[in-house]
Structure 1
Amino acid sequence: MSARTKARKRAIDLLYGADLRQRSIADALVEEQRRAADQPAREASWRYAREIVEGVDEHRESIDEAITAHALGWTLERMPVLDRAILRAGVWEILHNDEVPDAVAISEAVQLASELSTDDSGSFVNGVLSAIARDR
């Protein structure tokens, strides 16, 4: 597993945990920073995970608007918490990180959704992110 793939999973874990516990992203980042300091072997994945999470936090309103506009028939509140986290990270990569090709962001998000969430999550995430990438 590449460092970026590990970082994406770590970012999704942070976003998921903060959303589930209804705590701020800033608090989740402080806690994870402490953990990262104690585990130097995970430093490579921590830098990009932090970049994703901070980016999602900074652009949360526009990211959520893009998801809502492209998730036909679904509100953010109705989506599984894990799917929301995966979509937010994927949308940030598509809209705000020019270093990552859209196809890579979509593929990584679909893979994580397929592994970690419901049976239908992979295709749902693929549809939403593909539509956002197409329309940007």
Structure 2
Amino acid sequence: MSARTKARKRALDILFQADVRGDEVATILAAEAQRAANEPAREASWLYAREIVDGIIDNQGEIDEQITTFAKDWPLSRMPAVDRALLRIATWEILYNDEVPTAVAIDEAVELAKEFSTDESGAFVNGVLARIARSS
């Protein structure tokens, strides 16, 4: 598993925790940063996870607007928390990270949705992200 794949999982965990607990993402991110300082072997995945989460924090309004626009009749509040987090991660990568090819961002999100969310989540995430990618 690549460092970026591991980083996406870490970012997913941070976003999911904040969502489920009702905490600020920045609070969970700070706790994870403290933990990461004690795990130098995982530094490569931590750096990209932090970049993802910081990017989502900085651009959440635009990211959520894109998701809401292209999720056709699915408001963010109705989506499973895992799907919502994965859509935010991949949308950030598509819109704000030129180093990640769009197809890779979508594929990684779909695979994580299949692994961690509902049976229908892979197709849902793929459809929303494909529409976002076509519009950008």
How high is the TM-score relative to the length of structure 1?
0.99
By how many angstroms is 1:18 displaced?
0.6
Question: Any runs of at least 4 consecutive aligned residues in structure 1 with deviations exceeding 3 A, and if so which?
Answer: none
Q: d(CA) in 2 for partners of 1:99 and 1:21?
A: 32
Which consecutive residues of structure 2, in runs of 5 or more, have no partner in the other structure? none
Which stretch shifts more, 18-27 or 69-78? 18-27
By how many angstroms is 1:39 displaced?
1.0
1:74 corresponds in structure 2 to 74
Give the letter for the 2:76 counterpart: L
Percent same amino acid among aligned pairs?
62
1:1-57 Cα deviation digits (max 9, x unpaired): 000000001001101101111111111111001110111111110000000000001
Give the letter for the 1:78 counterpart: R
Give the letter for the 1:110 counterpart: V
For residue 78 of structure 2, give the secondary structure of its aligned residue in structure 1: coil
2:122 corresponds in structure 1 to 122
2:33 corresponds in structure 1 to 33
Structure 2 residue 128 is the aligned partner of structure 1 residue 133: no
Q: d(CA) in 2 for partners of 1:31 and 1:111?
A: 27
2:101 corresponds in structure 1 to 101
1:85-100 pair list within 5 angstroms: 85-100=85-100
For residue 124 of structure 1, give the secondary structure of its aligned residue in structure 2: helix
1:49-103 Cα deviation digits (max 9, x unpaired): 0000000011000000000000011000000011000000000000000110100
Which consecutive residues of structure 1, in runs of 5 or more, have no partner in the other structure? none
